[in-house]
Amino acid sequence: MTNRTSISDFQSYRDACQLAATDPAAFSSFRRNPALTQIWEHVPYDLGQQYLDLIDLDRYHPKDFTQNDTIGGADTHYYPKIDMAISPSTLRYIHVLQELDRHFDLSTIESIAEIGGGYGGQAAVMFQYLNWKLEYKIFDLPEVRWLAHHYLGQLGDKLGYRVVDTRWEFDLLISNYAFSELTEEVQQTYFDDVIVHSKNVYMVYNHISEQFGIKSWSVAEFGRKLMSAGFEVLVFDEAPKTHARNFVVVATK
């Protein structure tokens, strides 16, 4: 039986995150480190364009999220439609923000938890959109959380932020793929300790765990568990569709 908690739980990944969190030289370019970009920051230019084409530029223009790419050596690319360079991964974070606002009206959300928050890219976009006025908790491997706190702390020197460590009940629980890549045992722990205590859930869900020797719940299994816990559940295709078996789960109590 594997001791790994998810498909990304490798010592090389943990070590790279810890180094980036503690060494200024490594931190200055961590968003280009191959040991890390295999986990996140790997959205290609063309997929970034697809996200951009779905974004309402009147409400979520990428120019309002440029702080996201000022730290960590982001790999930015020029997009003629907006006449600026930006990381394709940041465009994905903005697209997710738009979807969250569409489903839940973020003006009413005061606390967010993210399972698998990585270096904090999605959190940074959320903070900037909401003027840094919310509580945010990132659940991830310890070394990854250290990096996220350092990254958000660097942004916080300019903009202010609040990442919480002790809260376990949230207005909104989100996860971009990460929850679907956990072992069933870890999924159950998160479900019992965090998800059932959240008012709303948004997840982008994939089915690639078996390729990495990890057994995870299918989206159908997860949906049934949510309904059993009293959630109203919607499951629909990811857009843009990045894999044939990728879905979005939206659940509310």
Report if residue 46 sits inside a domain: yes
pLDDT tens digits, 35-87: 999 999 999 999 999 999 999 999 999 999 999 999 999 999 999 999 999 99
Query: 236 and 247 in contact (C-beta within 8 Å)?
Result: yes
Predicted local confidence at residue 165, as pLDDT? 54
pTM, entire model? 0.93
Q: Which long-range contacts (CB under 8 A, 24 or more apart) does 209-212 make?
A: 209/7, 209/180, 209/181, 209/182, 211/7, 212/7, 212/181
Report if residue 3 sits inside a domain: no
Q: What domain range includes position 173?
A: 11-252
pLDDT tens digits, 216-242: 999 999 999 999 999 999 999 999 999
**Domain total in the chain:** 1
Tell me which of 74-83, 92-101, 158-167 is least confident. Answer: 158-167
Report if residue 4 sits inside a domain: no
Report if residue 101 sits inside a domain: yes
Query: 80 and 111 in contact (C-beta within 8 Å)?
Result: no
Task: Give bridge partners of residue 135 from the DSSP assignment.
Answer: 111
Report if residue 6 sits inside a domain: no
Task: Give bridge partners of residue 200 from the DSSP assignment.
Answer: 252
DSSP string, the chain: ----SBTT--HHHHHHHHHHHH-HHHHTTGGG-HHHHTTSS---HHHHHHHHHHS-TTTS-GGGGGGGGSSS----EEETTTTEEE-HHHHHHHHHHHHHHHHH-GGG--EEEEET-TTSHHHHHHHHHTTT-SEEEEES-HHHHHHHHHHHHHHHHHH---B-SS----SEEEEESGGGGB-HHHHHHHHHHTGGG-SEEEEEE---GGGGT-----HHHHHHHHHHTT-EEEEEE-SS-SSTT-EEEEEE-
Report if residue 219 sits inside a domain: yes
* Residue 164 confidence class, pLDDT cut points 50, 70, 90: very low
Q: What is the Cα–Cα distance from 32 to 166, expressed in whole angstroms?
A: 32
Report if residue 212 sits inside a domain: yes
pLDDT tens digits, 202-222: 999 999 999 999 999 999 999
The distance from CA 104 to its chain's CA centroid, rounded to whole angstroms, is 17
Report if residue 230 sits inside a domain: yes
Predicted local confidence at residue 167, as pLDDT? 54
Indicate which CATH number applies to the domain containing 133: 3.40.50.150
- The closest of 250, 218, 216, 248 to 233, measured between CA atoms, is 250
Q: What is the Cα–Cα distance from 17 to 37, expressed in whole angstroms?
A: 11
